[in-house]
Each structure stands twice: as C-alpha cells, then as structure tokens.
Amino acid sequence: MALTVRRPTEAELDAVGRITVEAYRDDGLIDAGDDYLTELADAARRHREAEVWVAVDGEEVLGSVTFCRPGTPFAELARDNEGEFRMLAVARAARRRGVAEALVARCVDRSRELGHDAVVICSMREMSTAHRLYERLGFRRLPERDWSPVPGIELLGFMLPLR
C-alpha cells in the first residue's frame, strides 16, 4: 500500500462524506435517522470551512479527517493556539493499515506548522479503538473538557501538548 495524505479533490468529497457516514453508522456510533449524519456527509462544507485531509492509495480514498483552527465553525474544543481534529473516519476495508495514524499525524504536523501549543480532540466514550491510538501517540485525557452536545452523547477530551 502506497499511503499518501493530502487535501481532497472536489471529485473526492462525496467519497469522504460516504466513508465518514459509514464509519459512524456501521460502527454503531450513531443511529441511521440521526440528524448528525447530514453533517458527517457534508464533506464539501467541511472542505470550505475547515481543512479536510484524505488518506489515499493511488486513486482510492481510504479515510479522512477534518482539521479545525480555533474559533472556526467546526472547532468545538480548541482554545486559542490549539489545533483540533474531528470526524476521523477510515473505510472498513482499509482498517488496521495505519490510515488513522497517518491522518492524526497530519493533524499534529499541521498544528506544528501553525505554531500551535497543542492538538485537541473530543471523542465518544464508545470509540475505544481511537482512544488507544491517541494514547499511543502521546495524547492525554482532559476530563475537564468532556462535554455533551446533546442529551445521551458524552464526548471525552484528549490533548497532545506540542511544547
């Protein structure tokens, strides 16, 4: 596999949205009728208002992540001088091939490029595989930033200090 992480083309945005929806829905993280699926599917909006990054093997999109600067529409957890990423998703067939790690590494590198002091992420309690990845990469839990966007959904905060 020749994995490359880069910004998506306009033609790839539908695949980004589809993979993101499938990852959340098929992993049982979100119900099929949930309104949040519309936001997950709208990769074009994320591409306009944040930075979408894709991992590709040749022409095939394997996964994506949305990187957010503090104070921008998709930033939820970032404070001044912190990068944030959201909606990390990998196609089922591409899992366990280093795709998620490469996408997270790109967000860490992007935060360093921008001179941020840290990178943050909020993640559903059920995303234990992602939590293990974050911890292995040096992220630590930030319980003081845990929050709930809607009743019944608890998001856990994680941070990787860069300085």
Residue 126 C-beta-side C-alpha neighbours within 13 Å: 9
- For residue 30, give the 3-state DSSP assignment: coil
- Rounded to whole angstroms, the Cα distance separating 7 from 89 reads 15
Token pair 């880069």 in the structure block, residue? 6
- 59-112: pLDDT as tens digits: 999 999 999 999 999 999 999 999 999 999 999 999 999 999 999 999 999 999
Determine the residue type at 130: A
pLDDT higher than 80, residue 40: yes
- What the block records as the tokens of 101 is 């790690």
Domain residues for the domain of 132 are: 3-161
Q: Could you tell me the CATH number of the domain that includes residue 50?
A: 3.40.630.30
- 10-25: pLDDT as tens digits: 999 999 999 999 998 8
Burial 91-117 (b: 16+ CB within 10 A, else e): beebeebebbebbbebbbebbeeeebe
Q: Is the pTM of this model over 0.75?
A: yes
Tally of structural domains, the chain: 1
158, 142 Cβ separation under 8 angstroms: yes
